[in-house]
Structure 1
Amino acid sequence: MKKLILAVSLAMVAAGAAHAGPPPPKAHGIEDKTYKWNAQEGEKIEALKLKGDKTRGEEGYEVCGACHLPSGAGRPDGTFPQLAGQHTTVLIKQMADIRAGLRDNPTMYPFAATLIDPQELADVAVYIESLCIPTEHGKYEGPDAATQLATGKGLYEKECKECHGTNGEGVKDKFYPVIAGQHYKYLLRQMTEIRDGHRRNANPDMVKVIKKYDDKQLVAISAYQSSLVMPGNMCKPKAAAKK
Protein backbone atom coordinates (compact mmCIF):
# COMPACT_ATOMS: atom_id res chain seq x y z
CA MET A 1 0.00 0.00 0.00
CA LYS A 2 2.82 2.43 0.91
CA LYS A 3 4.47 1.80 -2.46
CA LEU A 4 1.17 2.52 -4.20
CA ILE A 5 0.75 5.79 -2.31
CA LEU A 6 4.30 6.77 -3.18
CA ALA A 7 3.77 5.97 -6.86
CA VAL A 8 0.58 8.01 -6.96
CA SER A 9 2.30 10.92 -5.21
CA LEU A 10 5.19 10.88 -7.66
CA ALA A 11 2.75 10.81 -10.56
CA MET A 12 1.05 13.86 -9.07
CA VAL A 13 4.42 15.58 -8.83
CA ALA A 14 5.21 14.83 -12.46
CA ALA A 15 1.89 16.28 -13.52
CA GLY A 16 2.46 19.29 -11.31
CA ALA A 17 5.93 19.82 -12.73
CA ALA A 18 4.59 19.83 -16.27
CA HIS A 19 1.98 22.37 -15.26
CA ALA A 20 4.44 24.50 -13.28
CA GLY A 21 6.84 24.96 -16.16
CA PRO A 22 10.48 25.98 -15.67
CA PRO A 23 11.63 27.66 -12.45
CA PRO A 24 11.30 31.46 -12.41
CA PRO A 25 14.30 33.67 -13.28
CA LYS A 26 16.77 34.00 -10.43
CA ALA A 27 15.94 36.88 -8.12
CA HIS A 28 18.70 38.96 -6.58
CA GLY A 29 20.08 37.15 -3.55
CA ILE A 30 22.92 37.51 -1.11
CA GLU A 31 25.38 38.18 -3.93
CA ASP A 32 23.60 41.55 -4.43
CA LYS A 33 24.51 44.36 -2.01
CA THR A 34 20.87 45.53 -2.03
CA TYR A 35 19.62 42.10 -0.92
CA LYS A 36 17.23 42.13 2.03
CA TRP A 37 17.12 38.74 3.71
CA ASN A 38 13.55 38.91 4.92
CA ALA A 39 11.91 41.66 2.90
CA GLN A 40 8.31 42.11 4.01
CA GLU A 41 6.65 41.70 0.64
CA GLY A 42 5.04 39.27 -1.79
CA GLU A 43 2.99 36.16 -1.17
CA LYS A 44 5.10 35.33 1.88
CA ILE A 45 3.58 38.23 3.77
CA GLU A 46 0.10 37.36 2.53
CA ALA A 47 0.49 33.75 3.72
CA LEU A 48 1.83 34.80 7.12
CA LYS A 49 -1.28 36.90 7.75
CA LEU A 50 -3.61 33.96 7.05
CA LYS A 51 -4.76 31.30 9.51
CA GLY A 52 -3.73 27.90 8.23
CA ASP A 53 -6.12 24.96 8.24
CA LYS A 54 -4.51 21.64 9.26
CA THR A 55 -7.12 19.49 7.51
CA ARG A 56 -6.60 21.21 4.18
CA GLY A 57 -2.87 21.28 4.88
CA GLU A 58 -2.74 17.52 5.33
CA GLU A 59 -4.28 17.09 1.90
CA GLY A 60 -1.82 19.56 0.37
CA TYR A 61 1.10 17.81 2.05
CA GLU A 62 0.41 14.47 0.35
CA VAL A 63 2.56 15.49 -2.61
CA CYS A 64 5.36 16.66 -0.29
CA GLY A 65 5.31 13.29 1.49
CA ALA A 66 6.70 11.54 -1.58
CA CYS A 67 10.14 12.90 -0.69
CA HIS A 68 9.85 14.15 2.89
CA LEU A 69 7.79 11.09 3.93
CA PRO A 70 4.26 11.23 5.39
CA SER A 71 5.78 11.73 8.85
CA GLY A 72 7.83 14.71 7.69
CA ALA A 73 10.98 12.83 8.70
CA GLY A 74 12.88 13.38 5.47
CA ARG A 75 15.82 11.14 4.55
CA PRO A 76 18.73 10.27 6.86
CA ASP A 77 21.16 10.62 3.94
CA GLY A 78 20.36 14.34 3.86
CA THR A 79 18.86 14.43 0.38
CA PHE A 80 15.57 15.67 1.82
CA PRO A 81 15.40 17.49 5.17
CA GLN A 82 13.27 16.66 8.16
CA LEU A 83 10.33 19.09 8.11
CA ALA A 84 8.16 17.90 11.00
CA GLY A 85 7.75 20.50 13.73
CA GLN A 86 9.34 23.30 11.71
CA HIS A 87 8.01 26.82 12.34
CA THR A 88 5.30 27.97 9.94
CA THR A 89 7.23 31.20 9.39
CA VAL A 90 10.31 29.31 8.20
CA LEU A 91 8.33 26.95 5.97
CA ILE A 92 6.38 29.77 4.34
CA LYS A 93 9.50 31.87 3.76
CA GLN A 94 11.46 29.01 2.20
CA MET A 95 8.62 27.88 -0.06
CA ALA A 96 7.93 31.46 -1.13
CA ASP A 97 11.65 32.03 -1.81
CA ILE A 98 11.80 28.93 -4.01
CA ARG A 99 8.68 30.00 -5.90
CA ALA A 100 10.11 33.49 -6.38
CA GLY A 101 13.49 32.31 -7.68
CA LEU A 102 15.37 33.48 -4.59
CA ARG A 103 16.40 30.02 -3.43
CA ASP A 104 17.76 27.57 -6.01
CA ASN A 105 16.10 24.18 -5.61
CA PRO A 106 15.06 22.65 -8.96
CA THR A 107 13.93 19.45 -7.24
CA MET A 108 11.65 21.27 -4.83
CA TYR A 109 10.29 23.86 -7.25
CA PRO A 110 7.65 21.61 -8.93
CA PHE A 111 6.34 20.69 -5.47
CA ALA A 112 6.22 24.28 -4.26
CA ALA A 113 4.58 25.37 -7.49
CA THR A 114 1.61 23.04 -6.88
CA LEU A 115 0.59 25.27 -3.95
CA ILE A 116 -1.43 27.75 -5.94
CA ASP A 117 -1.93 30.61 -3.50
CA PRO A 118 -0.91 32.06 -0.08
CA GLN A 119 -3.72 30.19 1.67
CA GLU A 120 -2.34 26.85 0.54
CA LEU A 121 1.12 27.86 1.75
CA ALA A 122 -0.37 28.70 5.15
CA ASP A 123 -2.38 25.46 5.28
CA VAL A 124 0.53 23.14 4.46
CA ALA A 125 2.87 25.03 6.81
CA VAL A 126 0.53 24.74 9.82
CA TYR A 127 0.07 21.02 9.17
CA ILE A 128 3.83 20.38 8.97
CA GLU A 129 4.43 22.39 12.14
CA SER A 130 1.91 20.20 13.98
CA LEU A 131 3.86 16.99 13.26
CA CYS A 132 5.99 15.56 16.05
CA ILE A 133 9.73 15.55 15.43
CA PRO A 134 11.05 12.00 14.85
CA THR A 135 13.54 10.78 17.43
CA GLU A 136 15.34 8.62 14.88
CA HIS A 137 17.23 10.56 12.21
CA GLY A 138 20.60 10.79 10.52
CA LYS A 139 23.39 11.52 13.00
CA TYR A 140 27.17 11.65 12.87
CA GLU A 141 28.40 8.08 13.23
CA GLY A 142 32.18 8.31 12.92
CA PRO A 143 34.47 6.52 15.41
CA ASP A 144 35.35 9.95 16.84
CA ALA A 145 31.71 10.86 17.50
CA ALA A 146 32.29 11.76 21.16
CA THR A 147 35.10 14.15 20.24
CA GLN A 148 33.11 15.72 17.42
CA LEU A 149 30.09 16.27 19.67
CA ALA A 150 32.22 17.89 22.37
CA THR A 151 33.95 20.18 19.88
CA GLY A 152 30.69 20.98 18.15
CA LYS A 153 28.96 21.81 21.43
CA GLY A 154 31.61 24.38 22.26
CA LEU A 155 31.31 26.04 18.86
CA TYR A 156 27.52 25.90 18.90
CA GLU A 157 27.18 27.45 22.33
CA LYS A 158 29.61 30.20 21.41
CA GLU A 159 27.80 31.57 18.36
CA CYS A 160 24.84 29.43 17.25
CA LYS A 161 22.80 29.07 20.43
CA GLU A 162 21.74 32.72 20.51
CA CYS A 163 19.59 32.27 17.39
CA HIS A 164 18.87 28.53 17.27
CA GLY A 165 18.37 28.02 21.02
CA THR A 166 19.75 25.64 23.61
CA ASN A 167 17.65 22.75 22.27
CA GLY A 168 17.69 23.71 18.59
CA GLU A 169 14.22 25.24 18.85
CA GLY A 170 14.92 28.33 16.75
CA VAL A 171 12.84 31.52 17.04
CA LYS A 172 9.53 31.52 15.23
CA ASP A 173 8.88 35.26 14.98
CA LYS A 174 12.44 35.87 13.73
CA PHE A 175 12.27 33.10 11.09
CA TYR A 176 15.15 31.18 12.71
CA PRO A 177 14.56 27.49 11.97
CA VAL A 178 14.17 24.51 14.25
CA ILE A 179 17.26 22.33 13.83
CA ALA A 180 16.46 19.73 16.50
CA GLY A 181 15.95 16.36 14.87
CA GLN A 182 17.53 17.48 11.61
CA HIS A 183 19.77 15.10 9.67
CA TYR A 184 23.52 15.52 10.12
CA LYS A 185 24.31 15.32 6.40
CA TYR A 186 21.64 17.89 5.53
CA LEU A 187 22.92 20.30 8.18
CA LEU A 188 26.50 19.91 6.95
CA ARG A 189 25.48 20.47 3.32
CA GLN A 190 23.45 23.58 4.09
CA MET A 191 26.09 25.17 6.30
CA THR A 192 28.76 24.48 3.69
CA GLU A 193 26.61 26.07 0.99
CA ILE A 194 25.90 29.09 3.18
CA ARG A 195 29.59 29.53 4.00
CA ASP A 196 30.61 29.21 0.36
CA GLY A 197 27.96 31.65 -0.90
CA HIS A 198 25.80 29.08 -2.72
CA ARG A 199 22.65 29.52 -0.60
CA ARG A 200 21.41 32.74 -2.19
CA ASN A 201 18.60 33.38 0.31
CA ALA A 202 20.86 32.95 3.34
CA ASN A 203 20.68 35.26 6.33
CA PRO A 204 23.67 37.65 6.04
CA ASP A 205 24.11 37.54 9.81
CA MET A 206 24.61 33.78 9.65
CA VAL A 207 27.02 34.13 6.76
CA LYS A 208 29.20 36.45 8.86
CA VAL A 209 29.28 33.88 11.66
CA ILE A 210 29.84 30.79 9.57
CA LYS A 211 32.30 31.99 6.93
CA LYS A 212 35.27 31.70 9.28
CA TYR A 213 34.73 27.98 9.98
CA ASP A 214 36.72 25.35 8.10
CA ASP A 215 35.36 21.99 6.95
CA LYS A 216 36.40 20.16 10.13
CA GLN A 217 34.64 22.70 12.32
CA LEU A 218 31.47 22.48 10.24
CA VAL A 219 31.50 18.70 10.66
CA ALA A 220 31.71 19.11 14.43
CA ILE A 221 28.96 21.74 14.60
CA SER A 222 26.68 19.66 12.38
CA ALA A 223 27.36 16.57 14.47
CA TYR A 224 26.31 18.40 17.63
CA GLN A 225 23.29 20.08 16.05
CA SER A 226 21.98 16.73 14.83
CA SER A 227 22.07 15.46 18.42
CA LEU A 228 19.69 18.14 19.74
CA VAL A 229 16.15 17.36 20.87
CA MET A 230 13.22 19.63 21.79
CA PRO A 231 11.44 18.40 24.92
CA GLY A 232 7.71 18.21 24.35
CA ASN A 233 8.04 18.30 20.56
CA MET A 234 9.61 14.92 19.85
CA CYS A 235 7.59 11.88 18.80
CA LYS A 236 6.96 9.31 21.50
CA PRO A 237 9.36 6.36 21.40
CA LYS A 238 7.91 3.36 19.62
CA ALA A 239 6.83 0.55 21.89
CA ALA A 240 9.08 -2.49 21.78
CA ALA A 241 7.69 -5.27 19.62
CA LYS A 242 6.21 -8.14 21.58
CA LYS A 243 7.88 -11.51 21.18
Structure 2
Amino acid sequence: MKKLFMAALLSTTLGVSASVMAVGNPQAGQAKAESCAACHGPNGNSPMDTFPNLAGQAASYIVKQLQDYKSGARDNALMSPMAAGLSDEDMADIAAYYARQKPALGAVPEDLVELGEQIYRGGNPNTGVPACIACHGPSGRGMPAAAWPALSGQHTAYVEEQLHAFANGSRDNDPNEMMRDIAKKMSAEEIKAVSAYVRGLH
Protein backbone atom coordinates (compact mmCIF):
# COMPACT_ATOMS: atom_id res chain seq x y z
CA MET A 1 0.00 0.00 0.00
CA LYS A 2 2.77 2.38 1.02
CA LYS A 3 4.79 1.60 -2.13
CA LEU A 4 1.77 2.20 -4.35
CA PHE A 5 1.05 5.48 -2.60
CA MET A 6 4.63 6.69 -3.00
CA ALA A 7 4.61 5.67 -6.69
CA ALA A 8 1.48 7.74 -7.25
CA LEU A 9 3.09 10.57 -5.31
CA LEU A 10 6.18 10.51 -7.54
CA SER A 11 4.25 10.29 -10.81
CA THR A 12 2.06 13.20 -9.80
CA THR A 13 5.06 15.30 -8.81
CA LEU A 14 6.81 14.65 -12.11
CA GLY A 15 3.62 15.45 -14.00
CA VAL A 16 3.30 19.05 -12.82
CA SER A 17 3.00 21.29 -15.87
CA ALA A 18 5.44 24.03 -16.72
CA SER A 19 2.66 26.60 -16.57
CA VAL A 20 1.95 25.72 -12.95
CA MET A 21 5.63 26.30 -12.14
CA ALA A 22 5.75 29.72 -13.81
CA VAL A 23 7.18 32.48 -11.62
CA GLY A 24 5.01 35.56 -11.25
CA ASN A 25 5.57 39.17 -10.21
CA PRO A 26 4.23 39.76 -6.67
CA GLN A 27 4.15 43.54 -7.09
CA ALA A 28 1.97 43.23 -10.17
CA GLY A 29 -0.03 40.56 -8.39
CA GLN A 30 -0.91 42.86 -5.51
CA ALA A 31 -2.74 45.22 -7.86
CA LYS A 32 -4.40 42.37 -9.73
CA ALA A 33 -5.56 40.77 -6.47
CA GLU A 34 -7.60 43.80 -5.39
CA SER A 35 -10.76 42.21 -6.75
CA CYS A 36 -10.03 39.10 -4.66
CA ALA A 37 -9.92 40.99 -1.35
CA ALA A 38 -13.67 40.98 -0.72
CA CYS A 39 -13.63 37.21 -0.18
CA HIS A 40 -9.98 36.42 0.60
CA GLY A 41 -9.00 39.53 2.56
CA PRO A 42 -6.57 42.28 1.54
CA ASN A 43 -3.56 40.17 2.53
CA GLY A 44 -4.98 36.75 1.73
CA ASN A 45 -6.41 36.00 5.18
CA SER A 46 -10.11 35.61 4.55
CA PRO A 47 -12.50 37.20 7.06
CA MET A 48 -15.04 34.44 6.30
CA ASP A 49 -14.32 30.83 7.16
CA THR A 50 -16.12 29.47 4.09
CA PHE A 51 -13.57 31.15 1.81
CA PRO A 52 -9.99 29.87 1.86
CA ASN A 53 -7.03 31.77 3.21
CA LEU A 54 -4.53 32.32 0.40
CA ALA A 55 -1.77 33.95 2.45
CA GLY A 56 1.34 31.77 2.36
CA GLN A 57 -0.24 29.32 -0.06
CA ALA A 58 2.06 27.70 -2.61
CA ALA A 59 1.99 29.75 -5.80
CA SER A 60 1.96 26.57 -7.88
CA TYR A 61 -1.22 25.41 -6.14
CA ILE A 62 -2.98 28.75 -6.57
CA VAL A 63 -2.12 28.79 -10.28
CA LYS A 64 -3.40 25.24 -10.75
CA GLN A 65 -6.69 26.02 -9.06
CA LEU A 66 -7.17 29.18 -11.13
CA GLN A 67 -6.41 27.20 -14.29
CA ASP A 68 -8.93 24.56 -13.23
CA TYR A 69 -11.60 27.17 -12.51
CA LYS A 70 -11.00 28.71 -15.93
CA SER A 71 -11.05 25.39 -17.80
CA GLY A 72 -14.02 23.99 -15.87
CA ALA A 73 -11.99 21.18 -14.27
CA ARG A 74 -13.07 22.68 -10.94
CA ASP A 75 -16.55 24.14 -10.91
CA ASN A 76 -17.49 26.99 -8.61
CA ALA A 77 -20.20 29.57 -9.19
CA LEU A 78 -18.08 32.39 -7.73
CA MET A 79 -14.58 31.48 -8.83
CA SER A 80 -15.19 30.22 -12.37
CA PRO A 81 -16.32 33.67 -13.64
CA MET A 82 -13.49 35.36 -11.72
CA ALA A 83 -10.87 33.14 -13.36
CA ALA A 84 -12.37 33.31 -16.86
CA GLY A 85 -10.72 36.60 -17.73
CA LEU A 86 -7.32 35.88 -16.22
CA SER A 87 -4.29 35.25 -18.41
CA ASP A 88 -1.53 32.83 -17.40
CA GLU A 89 0.57 35.85 -16.44
CA ASP A 90 -2.24 37.24 -14.27
CA MET A 91 -2.56 33.93 -12.47
CA ALA A 92 1.18 33.68 -11.86
CA ASP A 93 1.34 37.27 -10.56
CA ILE A 94 -1.62 36.88 -8.20
CA ALA A 95 -0.24 33.58 -6.92
CA ALA A 96 3.20 35.10 -6.34
CA TYR A 97 1.66 37.91 -4.30
CA TYR A 98 -0.36 35.62 -2.04
CA ALA A 99 2.53 33.20 -1.59
CA ARG A 100 4.52 36.02 0.05
CA GLN A 101 1.82 36.93 2.56
CA LYS A 102 1.87 35.65 6.13
CA PRO A 103 -0.93 33.28 7.11
CA ALA A 104 -2.84 33.98 10.31
CA LEU A 105 -3.02 30.89 12.51
CA GLY A 106 -6.06 29.97 14.52
CA ALA A 107 -6.74 27.92 17.64
CA VAL A 108 -7.65 24.24 17.69
CA PRO A 109 -10.46 23.08 20.02
CA GLU A 110 -8.89 20.90 22.72
CA ASP A 111 -11.33 18.06 22.18
CA LEU A 112 -10.23 17.69 18.53
CA VAL A 113 -6.47 17.99 18.91
CA GLU A 114 -5.70 14.35 19.71
CA LEU A 115 -7.66 12.78 16.85
CA GLY A 116 -6.71 15.55 14.44
CA GLU A 117 -3.00 15.08 15.15
CA GLN A 118 -3.35 11.30 14.91
CA ILE A 119 -4.88 11.49 11.43
CA TYR A 120 -2.56 14.22 10.20
CA ARG A 121 0.64 12.58 11.41
CA GLY A 122 -0.22 8.88 11.38
CA GLY A 123 -3.36 8.37 9.32
CA ASN A 124 -5.61 5.44 10.14
CA PRO A 125 -3.94 2.11 9.25
CA ASN A 126 -7.15 0.22 10.00
CA THR A 127 -9.08 1.95 7.20
CA GLY A 128 -6.20 2.73 4.84
CA VAL A 129 -6.19 6.49 5.42
CA PRO A 130 -2.61 7.71 4.85
CA ALA A 131 -1.03 10.39 7.00
CA CYS A 132 -1.64 13.90 5.70
CA ILE A 133 1.94 14.76 6.59
CA ALA A 134 3.20 12.73 3.62
CA CYS A 135 1.95 15.32 1.12
CA HIS A 136 1.30 18.42 3.21
CA GLY A 137 4.46 18.34 5.33
CA PRO A 138 5.15 18.30 9.09
CA SER A 139 4.24 21.96 9.52
CA GLY A 140 1.47 22.00 6.91
CA ARG A 141 3.46 23.91 4.29
CA GLY A 142 2.56 21.54 1.44
CA MET A 143 4.74 20.58 -1.52
CA PRO A 144 5.00 23.50 -3.95
CA ALA A 145 6.91 21.45 -6.54
CA ALA A 146 3.93 19.10 -6.81
CA ALA A 147 1.34 21.89 -6.49
CA TRP A 148 0.05 20.33 -3.27
CA PRO A 149 -1.41 22.95 -0.94
CA ALA A 150 -0.27 24.37 2.33
CA LEU A 151 -2.85 23.67 5.05
CA SER A 152 -1.28 25.60 7.91
CA GLY A 153 -3.72 28.20 9.20
CA GLN A 154 -6.47 27.25 6.78
CA HIS A 155 -10.06 27.79 7.92
CA THR A 156 -11.56 24.70 9.53
CA ALA A 157 -14.93 25.11 7.79
CA TYR A 158 -13.30 25.40 4.38
CA VAL A 159 -11.07 22.33 4.81
CA GLU A 160 -13.99 20.29 6.12
CA GLU A 161 -16.14 21.34 3.16
CA GLN A 162 -13.42 20.37 0.67
CA LEU A 163 -12.83 16.96 2.25
CA HIS A 164 -16.54 16.19 2.07
CA ALA A 165 -16.58 17.40 -1.54
CA PHE A 166 -13.71 15.05 -2.40
CA ALA A 167 -15.46 12.22 -0.55
CA ASN A 168 -18.74 12.61 -2.44
CA GLY A 169 -17.05 13.38 -5.77
CA SER A 170 -18.42 16.88 -6.20
CA ARG A 171 -14.82 18.09 -6.31
CA ASP A 172 -12.76 16.03 -8.71
CA ASN A 173 -9.74 18.05 -9.81
CA ASP A 174 -7.27 16.12 -7.65
CA PRO A 175 -4.43 14.38 -9.56
CA ASN A 176 -4.96 10.63 -9.93
CA GLU A 177 -8.05 10.86 -7.67
CA MET A 178 -5.69 10.91 -4.68
CA MET A 179 -7.79 13.10 -2.42
CA ARG A 180 -11.03 11.43 -3.43
CA ASP A 181 -9.62 8.02 -2.54
CA ILE A 182 -8.39 9.30 0.82
CA ALA A 183 -11.48 11.31 1.80
CA LYS A 184 -13.83 8.41 1.00
CA LYS A 185 -12.07 6.35 3.67
CA MET A 186 -12.37 9.01 6.35
CA SER A 187 -15.19 9.15 8.86
CA ALA A 188 -17.06 12.39 9.46
CA GLU A 189 -15.39 12.55 12.87
CA GLU A 190 -11.92 12.23 11.34
CA ILE A 191 -12.67 14.89 8.74
CA LYS A 192 -13.90 17.27 11.42
CA ALA A 193 -10.88 16.67 13.66
CA VAL A 194 -8.15 16.98 11.03
CA SER A 195 -9.83 20.06 9.54
CA ALA A 196 -9.66 21.72 12.96
CA TYR A 197 -6.12 20.53 13.58
CA VAL A 198 -4.61 22.19 10.50
CA ARG A 199 -6.06 25.56 11.54
CA GLY A 200 -3.41 25.83 14.26
CA LEU A 201 -0.68 23.81 12.56
CA HIS A 202 2.64 25.55 11.99
**Structure 1 length as normaliser, TM-score?**
0.69
Counterpart of 1:223 in structure 2 is 196
1:101 & 1:45 partners in 2: Cα distance?
A: 19
Shift in CA distance, 58/146, structure 1 to aligned 2, threshold 3 Å: same
- Which has more helix, going by share of residues? 2
The amino acid across from 1:206 in the alignment is M
The amino acid across from 2:181 in the alignment is K
Counterpart of 1:84 in structure 2 is 55
- Residue 93 (structure 2) pairs with residue 129 (structure 1): no
Counterpart of 2:136 in structure 1 is 164
Within the candidate set 146, 155, 180, 1:207 is matched to 180
The 5 A counterparts of 1:160-199 are 160-199=132-171
Shift in CA distance, 40/217, structure 1 to aligned 2, threshold 3 Å: closer
Pairwise CA RMSD of aligned residues?
2.2
Contact 1:60–1:120 (Cα < 8 Å) also in 2: yes
- Note the alpha carbon deviations across 1:112-152, whole angstroms, 9 max, x for none: 1232x2111111111110111123x4x55xxxx32311011
SS in 1 for 2:132: helix
2:158 & 2:149 partners in 1: Cα distance?
A: 14
Q: Report the CA distance between 1:38 and its aligned residue.
A: 8.5
Identity fraction in percent:
31
2:118 & 2:104 partners in 1: Cα distance?
A: 25
Contact 1:56–1:124 (Cα < 8 Å) also in 2: yes
**Structure 2 portions without partners, runs of 5+:** 1-10, 123-130
Larger of the two Rg values belongs to structure: 1
The amino acid across from 2:119 in the alignment is L
2:19 & 2:184 partners in 1: Cα distance?
A: 33
Within the candidate set 97, 101, 113, 2:68 is matched to 97
Within the candidate set 98, 118, 123, 1:154 is matched to 118
**Structure 2 length as normaliser, TM-score?**
0.83
Number of matched pairs: 183
1:58 & 1:146 partners in 2: Cα distance?
A: 37
Q: Report the CA distance between 1:39 and its aligned residue.
A: 10
